[in-house]
Amino acid sequence: MAAAVEQARALRPQVTTTDPVAQLEKLAGLRDRGVITDEEFAVQKAKILGE
């Protein structure tokens, strides 16, 4: 069972990116669709930009 879980994790595509522009664009899209609030966007933006 544990082997199957590990195999599934290995096959899962990586969702994270180290490109701050791509991260901000994704967050902006979430904000624009109403998935996250302006405040949540601002917090995550500050984290990405290292502020």
In tens, the pLDDT along 4-44 reads: 556 656 555 545 678 999 999 999 999 999 999 999 999 99
Contacts of 31 (CB under 8 A, 6+ apart): 37, 38, 40, 41
Distance CA 29, CA 22 (A): 11
pLDDT at 41: 97
Both structure tokens of 9? 């994790």
Q: Residues 33, 35, 40, 44: is their CA dihedral positive or negative?
A: negative
pLDDT of residue 49: 94
The per-residue pLDDT for 12 is: 52
pLDDT of 51 reads 77
d(CA 49, CA 19) in angstroms, rounded, equals 11
